[in-house]
Amino acid sequence: MVQPNYTAALYLRLSKDDGFSERESMSIDTQRDMLTRYCKEHGIIVYDIYADDGFTGLNTDRPAFQRMIEDVENRKVNCVITKDQSRLGRNHLESDFYMEVFFPNTISATLQLPIMLILSMRQLWTSHLSAIC
């Protein structure tokens, strides 16, 4: 079986609603390091890193998120990777729409890929554990 080639959008977000301080904003750096390391280890090309530092996840009115959506629609990426679902958004209905409807339909239909990856580090850890257990 041929492994699909993925060109990823790495999405990072830290909300000011979470009560972050300047020091805690380094979480963006932690997310970036974690996701770029994963991509390097798995041969995933990183198209761009989209970081919304200090933006709420309660809506999608975030500049980097909107730029990422535009790149998905313009077929520049065929994979979205984020640390966990809450980084994509805190509004579960809206996040679910993107994960279950928008990303699969936009990318699978336009690029003829069998799946659209939306990976979270929790999912990656779970799959890693199941592979070694």
Of 71 and 113, which is predicted with more confidence? Answer: 71
Token output for 11? 């999405």
Q: Can you tell me the mean pLDDT for 19-37?
A: 74
Q: Could you tell me where the DSSP H helices lie in 8-108? A: 27-41, 63-73, 85-88, 92-97, 103
Confidence of residue 41 (pLDDT cuts 50, 70, 90): confident
Contacts for 47 with CB less than 8 Å, ≥ 6 apart: 7, 8, 9, 71, 76, 77
Q: Where are the domains of the chain?
A: 7-132
Q: Which residue in 103, 101, 11 sits closest to 55, CA to CA? A: 11
* Overall pTM > 0.85: no
Give the Cα separation of 121 and 37 in Å (integer). 11
Bridge partner residues of 81 (DSSP): 10, 119
- How far from 31 is each of 15, 48, 53, 71, CA to CA, in Å? 13, 14, 11, 20
CATH 3.90.1150.10 fits 7-132, yes or no: no
The dihedral through the CA atoms of 131, 33, 107, 102 has a sign that is: positive
